[in-house]
């Protein structure tokens, strides 16, 4: 199927060639080059050269026509913003470092207890996994107590702990 001539006109090609000089070595360079070459070669050949589909080159052309070079830059992906702000993270770090909750009572923190404290103090509902990722970014690591041997004799264990080697 023949492509419509109005999608790639000489003015668009000249504009793309002029912008190529500014973006050498950048991803935009490849996109501008594809647009510039689409006037001389069929879109399928240009797409094969660039290693993308014909539809991708078509989208680049439409984006360049609509928004110029700025239209060719990748748009931000749809990540959800963090629920915890910097002031919240600082307060959480203080709680964890002191080993006390917001009322000053000593507490052995678990992710669930911390999640409940955040909900109570800040009114923020956060699930365990994002909270865990925040704590890792803040430099905190999980402390796991040593395992208890339930079948062992407690007196022999105490005697073993107190035994000194010379």
Residue spans per domain, the chain = 5-72, 86-137
Residue 87: pLDDT above 70?
Answer: yes
Residues 6+ apart with CB under 8 A from 89: 134, 138
Query: How confident is the model over 96-111, as pLDDT tens digits?
Result: 999 888 898 998 899 9
- CA 119, 124, 125, 131 dihedral sign is negative
Query: How confident is the model over 99-155, as pLDDT tens digits?
Result: 888 898 998 899 999 999 999 999 999 999 999 999 999 999 877 777 777 777 878
pTM of the predicted model as reported, rounded to 2 decimal places: 0.46
DSSP letters for 76-102? PP-PPPPSS-HHHHHHHHHHHHHTB-T
User: What does residue 83 show for φ and ψ, rounded to 5 degrees?
Assistant: -80, -30
């Amino acid at each position: 199927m023949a492509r419509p001539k109005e999608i790639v006109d000489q003015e668009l090609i000249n504009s793309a060639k002029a912008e190529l000089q500014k973006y050498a070595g950048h991803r935009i360079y490849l996109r501008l080059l594809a647009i510039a070459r689409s006037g001389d070669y069929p879109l399928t050949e240009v797409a094969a050269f660039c290693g993308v589909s014909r539809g991708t080159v078509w989208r680049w052309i439409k984006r360049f026509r609509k928004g110029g070079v700025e239209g060719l830059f990748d748009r931000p992906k749809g990540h959800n913003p963090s629920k915890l702000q910097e002031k919240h993270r600082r307060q959480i770090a203080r709680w964890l470092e002191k080993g006390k909750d917001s009322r000053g009572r000593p507490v052995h923190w678990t992710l669930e207890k911390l999640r409940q404290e955040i909900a109570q103090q800040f009114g923020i509902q956060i699930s365990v996994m994002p909270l865990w990722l925040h704590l890792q970014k803040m430099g905190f690591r999980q402390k796991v107590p040593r395992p208890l041997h339930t079948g062992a004799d407690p007196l022999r264990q105490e005697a073993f702990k107190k035994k000194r080697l010379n």
